[in-house]
C-alpha cells in the first residue's frame, strides 16, 4: 500500500483530485452561504482558509510531483489539515457548550499583507454567530462534519508522507 501511495504522490492525478475535493467543499460552503442564506461565523471563515490551504497544497503538488516541491506540498497539506481539525474542534466546543464568556470574534483577523476580507468579502466576511447550529445532517453540525473531513485529509497526508521512502517497483516487461 505504501508503495502505491508513493507512486500516486509522484503523479498529478492524486494531487489534482485532492485540490478538486477541497474546491467542491468550498463551493458547498458558498452554496450554504449565498443560496441557503446561512451566515458564516468567524470560525467558519477560518475553517474555509484551512480548506483553501488543502486546495493550495493540491495545486502545489500537481505543479511538479516528481520534484522536491512535492515535499513542500505535503507540508502545506499536513499543516492545513491539522489547523482545520483544531479550528473545527474549537468551533464544535463553542456550539456544544455555549458560554457568554467564551465567544468568537465579530470579524476575522487577517494579516495586513493578506486582507482576504477586503479582497473577497463575499467569501471571507463573517456575519454569523459561532454558537448557532444552523445546519445539521445525521445529527452532526457543520463543524463536526468538518472535523471528519479534515481528519480524512490528515490521515491521507500522514500515510502519503510515510510512503515517501518506499520507492515504487519498476515493472519491466522482460524481468521476473
Give per-residue pLDDT as tens, 16-25: 888 999 999 9
Is 72 within a domain?
yes
The predicted structure's pLDDT at residue 151:
95
Catalytic residue (choose from 49, 70, 104, 170): 104
Is 89 within a domain?
yes
Is 15 within a domain?
yes
CATH number of the domain enclosing 83: 1.20.1550.10
State which residues form the domain around 49.
Answer: 1-99+126-164
Is 152 within a domain?
yes
Catalytic residue (choose from 3, 10, 48, 86): 48
- Does 49 qualify as catalytic in the annotation? no
Catalytic residue (choose from 44, 66, 70, 176): 44
- Does 176 qualify as catalytic in the annotation? no
97-105 long-range Cβ contacts below 8 angstroms, 24+ apart: 98/131, 103/130, 103/131, 104/41, 104/42, 104/43, 104/130, 105/42
Catalytic residue (choose from 3, 8, 12, 41): 41
Q: Give the integer Cα–Cα distance in Å for 79 and 53.
A: 8
Strand partners, 136: 141
The predicted structure's pLDDT at residue 8:
63
What is the number of structural domains in the chain? 1
The predicted structure's pLDDT at residue 98:
74
- Model pTM score: 0.79
Is 120 within a domain?
no
Give 45-84 pLDDT, tens digit per residue. Answer: 889 899 999 999 999 888 877 788 888 888 999 999 999 9
- Does 104 qualify as catalytic in the annotation? yes
- Does 41 qualify as catalytic in the annotation? yes
- Does 130 qualify as catalytic in the annotation? yes
Mark the ranges of the chain whose per-residue pLDDT is less than 70. Answer: 2, 4-9, 102-103, 128, 166, 168-176
Is 173 within a domain?
no
Is 88 within a domain?
yes
Contact 61, 55 (CB under 8 A): no
Is 40 within a domain?
yes
Amino acid at each position: 500500500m505504501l508503495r502505491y501511495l508513493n507512486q500516486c504522490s509522484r503523479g498529478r492525478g492524486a494531487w489534482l483530485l485532492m485540490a478538486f475535493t477541497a474546491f467542491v467543499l468550498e463551493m458547498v460552503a458558498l452554496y450554504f452561504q449565498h443560496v441557503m442564506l446561512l451566515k458564516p461565523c468567524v470560525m467558519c471563515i477560518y475553517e474555509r482558509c484551512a480548506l483553501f490551504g488543502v486546495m493550495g497544497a493540491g495545486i502545489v503538488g500537481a505543479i511538479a510531483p516528481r520534484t522536491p516541491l512535492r515535499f513542500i506540498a505535503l507540508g502545506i497539506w499536513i499543516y492545513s489539515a491539522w489547523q482545520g481539525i483544531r479550528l473545527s474542534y474549537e468551533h464544535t466546543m463553542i456550539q456544544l457548550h455555549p458560554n457568554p464568556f467564551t465567544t468568537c470574534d465579530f470579524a476575522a483577523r487577517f494579516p495586513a499583507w493578506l486582507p482576504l476580507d477586503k479582497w473577497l468579502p463575499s467569501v471571507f466576511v463573517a456575519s454569523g454567530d459561532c454558537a448557532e447550529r444552523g445546519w445539521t445532517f445525521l445529527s452532526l453540525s457543520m463543524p463536526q462534519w468538518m472535523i471528519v473531513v479534515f481528519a480524512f485529509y490528515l490521515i491521507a497526508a500522514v500515510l502519503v508522507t510515510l510512503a515517501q521512502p518506499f520507492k515504487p517497483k519498476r515493472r519491466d516487461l522482460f524481468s521476473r
